[in-house]
């Protein structure tokens, strides 16, 4: 479904990705793990068209995304939940969700999608008229995911959805992601919380200094002593 072939990204003189290749198949959950600065966020930004690769191909089905503008990529069914959530603090929960659909004319369908988001996220349903800025961190993260769901993407890119959340909320976010995947959305998940990410994912890739250094089924990665030591907090 999504294939990166030898993707390089530079920010000025900084080489953020030095030839990343990876694949995400339809229906999968794939985890991308790695230390700070490894290039995880940049990988997602390259897929979404927020940065341009200097080299390499990014294929979504047969289409090469690497020269397309971000809005066109989103319209093809790729939704991105960025790091730091980027919700509109002065708008209500409902307004944030509606904003994601401003270009859609199918009002009944939009209403159904909103109900779907609220059924997946009952906490948001209760707070639909609350300003997003007054939501807790976990609720804001749920709203960011809810907004991506409104785009009806085929694949969702998630950048550190567990960041800064208490363990009980992290567990709730991961339950939500599992359910979203079960309902048919493919997930590419960037996480520092490698243990949770690999528990959810079918496969994973480990990035170091802009390169994939390891990949495989999640269980295999979790059993790998180097991964356990570096990313799972084991001795
Ligand atoms: P983290 O887990 O800390 O978010 P990451 O794996 O997501 O890290 P990236 O954010 O992709 O890493 O960054 C990869 C490299 O690119 C880093 O060295 C970073 O400093 C650099 N970088 C990222 N964005 C920019 C930018 N806009 N300008 C210059 N350098 C950048």
Contact (Cβ atoms closer than 8 angstroms) between residue 208 and residue 225: no
Return the SS3 of 133: helix
* DSSP string for residues in 91-110: SBHHHHHHHTTTT---HHHH
Return the SS3 of 149: helix
Helical residues (DSSP H) of 80-184, grouped into ranges: 93-99, 107-120, 122-126, 137-150, 167-182
In this structure, the residues whose C-beta lies within 6 A of any atom of ligand 1 are 11, 14, 16, 34, 36-42, 192
What is the rounded distance in angstroms from the CA atom of residue 128 to the CA atom of residue 126? Answer: 6
Q: What is the ipTM metric for this complex? A: 0.92
pLDDT one-digit tens code per residue, 124-168: 999 999 999 999 888 999 999 999 999 888 999 999 999 888 888
- Residue 10 CA, ligand 1 centroid: distance in Å: 10
Per the structure, how many domains does the chain have?
1
User: Which band of pLDDT confidence, cut at 50, 70 and 90, is reported for residue 108?
Assistant: confident
Residue 82 sits in a domain whose CATH number is 3.40.50.300
Which amino acid residue places its CA nearest to atom 21 of ligand 1? 16
Which amino acid residue places its CA nearest to atom 26 of ligand 1? 11
pLDDT at 234 over 60: no
**Residue span of the structural domain in which 104 resides:** 2-232
pLDDT one-digit tens code per residue, 169-190: 899 999 999 999 999 999 999 9
Which amino acid residue places its CA nearest to atom 16 of ligand 1? 16
Work out which ligand 1 atom sits closest to the CA atom of 42.
Answer: 11
């Amino acid at each position: 479904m999504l294939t990166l072939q030898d993707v390089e990204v530079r920010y000025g003189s900084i080489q953020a990705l030095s030839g990343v290749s990876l694949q995400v198949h339809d229906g999968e959950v794939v985890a991308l793990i790695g230390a700070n600065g490894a290039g995880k966020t940049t990988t997602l930004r390259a897929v979404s068209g927020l940065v341009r690769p200097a080299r390499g191909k990014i294929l979504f089905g047969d289409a090469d995304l690497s020269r397309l503008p971000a809005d066109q990529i989103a319209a093809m069914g790729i939704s991105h939940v960025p790091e730091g959530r980027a919700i509109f603090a002065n708008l209500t929960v409902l307004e944030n969700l509606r904003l994601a659909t401003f270009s859609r004319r199918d009002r009944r369908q939009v209403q159904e999608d909103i109900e779907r988001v609220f059924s997946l996220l009952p906490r948001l349903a209760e707070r639909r008229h609350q300003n997003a800025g007054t939501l807790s961190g976990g609720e804001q993260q749920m709203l960011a995911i809810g907004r991506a769901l409104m785009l009806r993407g085929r694949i969702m890119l998630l950048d550190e959805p567990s960041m800064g959340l208490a363990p009980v909320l992290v567990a709730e976010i991961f339950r939500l992601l599992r359910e979203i995947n079960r309902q048919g959305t493919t997930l590419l998940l960037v996480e520092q919380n490698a243990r949770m990410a690999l528990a959810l994912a079918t496969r994973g890739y480990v990035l170091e200094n802009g390169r994939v250094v390891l990949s495989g089924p999640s269980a295999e990665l979790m059993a790998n002593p180097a991964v356990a030591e570096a990313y799972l907090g084991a001795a």
